[in-house]
A and B are shown apart, each in its own frame.
Chain A
Amino acid sequence: QKEVEQNSGPLSVPEGAIASLNCTYSDRGSQSFFWYRQYSGKSPELIMFIYSNGDKEDGRFTAQLNKASQYVSLLIRDSQPSDSATYLCAVSYSGGGADGLTFGKGTHLIIQP
């Protein structure tokens, strides 16, 4: 059974600080890793994907992947109140969007003005 674990939070971070979100996964064969943001009552929107070990940066967001530790993280720099949402970590056994995604339960992030 493929599992993706996240701390449900809430994680409270002051505006302008760095928010750090973590995720672990159980299936060593997982190939693709995604971070989605979900506002209450809305569907998920993609923030970033990462396939290789190391860091990947996109604007204020940095995804980090460590396959040996089966660990994925998302850093949000200069956090804004609009970043307040639930962040979902998702994993795929295959590359890209070829297979359905296994999601974690999400971390509720609150950015305090």
Chain B
Amino acid sequence: GAVVSQHPSWVICKSGTSVKIECRSLDFQATTMFWYRQFPKQSLMLMATSNEGSKATYEQGVEKDKFLINHASLTLSTLTVTSAHPEDSSFYICSARAPSGRETQYFGPGTRLLVL
């Protein structure tokens, strides 16, 4: 149980285009999901917290107008990278807060974004 999926797993796009990444909790409902970003040889950095039915909370330094987050249902959160540039190329990983009673977050497999 507690499986989180992401789609797509890989995306290559031209500079200036927008890219949408989906994060789904497959066998549980997640009121809270998190979006992380990991650059090569760096650690995961929390970008934002996504709460179902409300606005996302962004970490300091993360542009909310560039990284649009929508958590419209209890099993789906989306991250849209708007007007992507090469410096946005990274490994984007979502996690979902575990069902009540379990003390952890479950991570999706990640989406690797390459902006040309």
* CB atoms of B105 and A97 under 8 A apart: yes
Tell whether A98 pairs with B32 under 8 Å between CB atoms, given A43-B93, A43-B107.
yes
* CB atoms of B97 and A101 under 8 A apart: no
* CB atoms of B104 and A49 under 8 A apart: yes
Which of B42, B46, B103 gathers most chain A CB within 10 Å? Answer: B103
Say which size band chain A's interface belongs to. 20 to 34
* Residues of A close to B108: CB separation below 8 A: 43
- The answer, yes or no, to whether B54 is at the interface (CB within 8 Å) is no
**B interface majority secondary structure:** strand
Query: Which chain A residue lies CB-closest to B109?
Result: A43
Q: How many residues of B contact A (CB 8 A)?
A: 24
What's the A-B contact tally at a CB cutoff of 8 Å?
A: 61
Docked pose: A90 CA to B95 CA in angstroms: 13
The 0/1 profile, CB within 8 Å of B marked 1, for residues 90-101 of chain A is: 100001111111
* CB atoms of A103 and B105 under 8 A apart: no
* CB atoms of B43 and A105 under 8 A apart: yes
* Residues of A close to B102: CB separation below 8 A: 96-97
Chain A residues proximal to chain B, CB less than 8 Å: 4, 32, 34, 36, 41-46, 49, 51, 88, 90, 95-106
